[in-house]
Amino acid sequence: MEQIVYLNGSLIPRSRAKISPFDFGFLYGYALFESMRAYSGRVFRLNRHLERLARSAEILGINLPEVDLQKAIYDTLEANGLINARIRLTVSLGQGEATPDLSTCENPTVFITANTYTQLPEAAYKKGFRSVVLQIRRNSASPLSQVKSANYLDMMLARTQANNAGADEALLLNEQGYVAESSTSNVFIVSKGRIITPSIDSGILPGITRDVILELASSLRVEAEQRSVELNELYACQEAFLTNSVIEIMPLVEADGRRIGSGTVGAITGKLMYKYKTLIKEELGL
How does pLDDT run across 94-130, given as a tens digit for each residue?
Answer: 999 999 999 999 999 999 999 999 999 999 999 999 9
**Helix crossing, 69-79 with 46-60: angle to 10°?**
120
- SS3 of residue 167 by DSSP: coil
- Side by side, the strands of the sheet bearing 4-7 are 10-13, 4-7, 109-116, 85-92, 31-39, 42-43
Does position 10 have pLDDT exceeding 90, yes or no? yes
How does pLDDT run across 171-209, given as a tens digit for each residue?
Answer: 999 999 999 999 999 999 999 999 999 999 999 999 999
**pLDDT value, residue 215:** 96
Report the alpha-carbon distance of residue 68 to residue 219 in Å, rounded: 33
Give percent of the chain with pLDDT exceeding 70: 100
Report the alpha-carbon angle 282-285-286, nearest 5. 95
One-letter identity of residue 166: G
**Domain ranges, ordered by start, for the chain:** 4-116, 122-284
Report the alpha-carbon distance of residue 74 to residue 82 in Å, rounded: 10
Secondary element (H or E) of residue 87: strand 85-92
Mean pLDDT across 44-65: 96
Report the alpha-carbon distance of residue 67 to residue 285 in Å, rounded: 27
pLDDT band at 1 (very low <50, low <70, confident <90, very high): confident
pLDDT band at 81 (very low <50, low <70, confident <90, very high): very high
Q: Mean of the per-residue pLDDT values for the chain?
A: 96
pLDDT band at 221 (very low <50, low <70, confident <90, very high): very high
CB 93 within 8 Å of CB 31: yes
Secondary element (H or E) of residue 232: helix 231-236
Does position 252 have pLDDT exceeding 90, yes or no? yes
CB 213 within 8 Å of CB 188: yes
Q: Which fold has domain 122-284?
A: D-amino Acid Aminotransferase; Chain A, domain 2 (3.20.10)
Give percent of the chain with pLDDT exceeding 90: 97
To the question of domain 4-116 being in CATH 3.30.470.10, the answer is yes
**pLDDT value, residue 168:** 97
Contacts of 44 (CB under 8 A, 6+ apart): 36, 37, 38, 245, 280, 283, 284
The 8-class DSSP code of residue 2 comes to P
**pLDDT value, residue 198:** 98
